[in-house]
């Protein structure tokens, strides 16, 4: 699985003009299941993100994890993270998992974030979503599992 995480002071996601997920301090997590990914990949990636120390401690050093700062997660499915731009100017997405598998692994990822003790809001798998965020730092990190 792939994820692009952004440390945020706030973020929200809307579908058809209606906000369906909203957080304050925490992480906006754009996540993509890839062909061949398993539930283990989803759980491993979620656990890694939950423990990732990218929030400032009292000295300003990135030394605290999401739970340490009582942060929240907003998880949004993002199949375009599978984009292959190696041929031409039009990206291909054949490396993304099939929709049924992608949705299942997205749900496993969300469940694992919650198991890790993280308050988690979500987008809507497969929907046309509008995501708003205030990137804190900015801190943006690419992860794979």
- pLDDT tens digit string along 59-78? 999 999 999 999 999 999 99
Spell out the residues 6+ positions from residue 99 whose beta carbon is closer than 8 angstroms to its own.
Answer: 126
> What's the whole-number mean pLDDT along residues 96-117?
98
Residue 121 lies inside a defined structural domain of this protein: yes
* Given 6, 55, 72, 79, the catalytic residue: 79
Residue 136 lies inside a defined structural domain of this protein: yes
Count: domains in the chain: 1
79 is catalytic: yes
* Given 19, 35, 38, 80, the catalytic residue: 80
Residue 56 lies inside a defined structural domain of this protein: yes
Residue 71 lies inside a defined structural domain of this protein: yes
109 is catalytic: no
Domain residue limits at 21:
2-140
Q: What is the pLDDT of the chain when averaged over all its residues?
A: 97
What are the pLDDT digits (tens) for 19-69? 999 999 999 999 999 999 999 999 999 999 999 999 999 999 999 999 999
Please tell me the predicted confidence (pLDDT) of residue 35: 97
Q: CATH number for the domain including 7?
A: 3.50.80.10
- Joined tokens for residue 79: 């199949």
Residue 145 lies inside a defined structural domain of this protein: no
- Is residue 58 within 8 Å of residue 113, measured between CB atoms? no
119 is catalytic: no
């Amino acid at each position: 699985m792939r994820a692009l995480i952004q440390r945020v002071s706030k973020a929200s996601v809307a579908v058809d003009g209606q906000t369906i997920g909203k957080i304050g301090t925490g992480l906006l997590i754009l996540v993509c299941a890839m062909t061949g990914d398993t539930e283990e990949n989803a759980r491993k990636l979620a656990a890694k993100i939950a423990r990732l120390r990218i929030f400032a401690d009292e000295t300003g050093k990135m030394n605290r994890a999401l739970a340490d700062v009582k942060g929240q997660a907003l998880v949004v499915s993002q199949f375009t993270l599978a984009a292959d731009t190696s041929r031409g100017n039009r990206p291909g997405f054949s490396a993304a998992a099939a929709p049924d598998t992608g949705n299942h692994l997205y749900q496993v990822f969300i469940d694992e974030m919650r198991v890790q003790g993280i308050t988690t809001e979500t987008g809507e798998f497969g929907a046309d979503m509008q995501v708003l965020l205030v990137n804190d730092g900015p801190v943006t990190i690419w992860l794979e599992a």
